[in-house]
Amino acid sequence: MKVLITGGAGFIGSHLAERLLELNHEVFIIDNLWTGSLANIEGIQDDNRLHLVVDTILNESVMNELVFKVDHVYHLAAAVGVKKIMDHPVETLDINVKGTEAVLRLANRFKKKVLIASTSEVYGRHLNGKVSEDDNRIMGSVKKRRWAYACSKTLDEFLALAYHDEKKLPVVISRLFNTVGPRQTGQYGMVLPTFVQSALLGKSIAVYGDGTQSRSFIHVRDAVEAIIALMAEPQADGDVFNVGNDHEITINELAQRVKDMTGSDSTIEHVPYEKAYGPGFEDMERRCPNIEKINNLIGFKPVYDLEAMIQSVIDYFKE
């Protein structure tokens, strides 16, 4: 089978490309390298079944040719990372909304199945337990730039479901929760690689806010297995699925766990959000998925526990 991965040189996209090649697919990647990197696909670049196009998904003539020749499209290209979103709000909205619209329009032209990589951010400020796919979303003020990303990805979901309902386009939406593992960079505000790098270098581990906010982490290899299985399941078409791990941990606890596992003498320092991201930032107090739906459909259960996830990131940066 021939597959296209938009954003395929990114953190998740590169792991997805590796796995699809292992499954003997022919893989086409398009990536403008804004947040992706050629280093991420260094291990597979000599595979003659891999085809790389360095360009934007907004280049319609290039995308038209790519979508035409493949069977499935994994749409992962997006502006990601809290810092990137806070520093570049126009680009965030542009690539996330216009890019997804372009992918869906071309996929519909040739009736190619699409998996849209969405995000747990769409749930907003939920505080009560594990969030399920049909829960209401709770967003902050439009003056708080933090919510631009969540709203852009929400619009992507609405658009994808509209294409499915109106145009009968086979589409499945995966809401990815905090995904971690080798090759993830802390450059754009991703918390685990930032903590690990600081700990290994003996620098203070910066926890934004009071650290009582909680998150749930899934290893990138678990996430990749889930989205490949969703793409292969016809009953997933026209639906939304949480892709995550339902083990929850506070950021304070995560910082201490990283410190312990690295044997670091680093101090844990609390930093006000405003100092890190400037004005217009609000954080989410909780983010934990209910994964019953995806488990019931494809039998998905995460393999990696938190300790294994942290260790894989430590090993990566040590190497």
Residues marked as catalytic? 149
Rounded to the nearest 5°, which phi and psi values hold at 288? -140, 130
CA separation for the pair 218, 179 (Å, rounded): 5
Using CA atoms, how far residue 144 sits from 54, 83, 89, 121, 191, in Å, is 33, 14, 11, 14, 21
Using CA atoms, how far residue 5 sits from 77, 122, 265, 279, in Å, is 8, 22, 41, 35
Query: Closest by alpha carbon to 283, among 302, 270, 292, 293?
Result: 270
Specify the pairing of strand 248-250 against strand 214-219.
antiparallel
Q: Which position has the token pair 């849209």?
A: 116
Q: Which position has the token pair 């933090």?
A: 146
The one-letter amino acid code at 205 reads: I
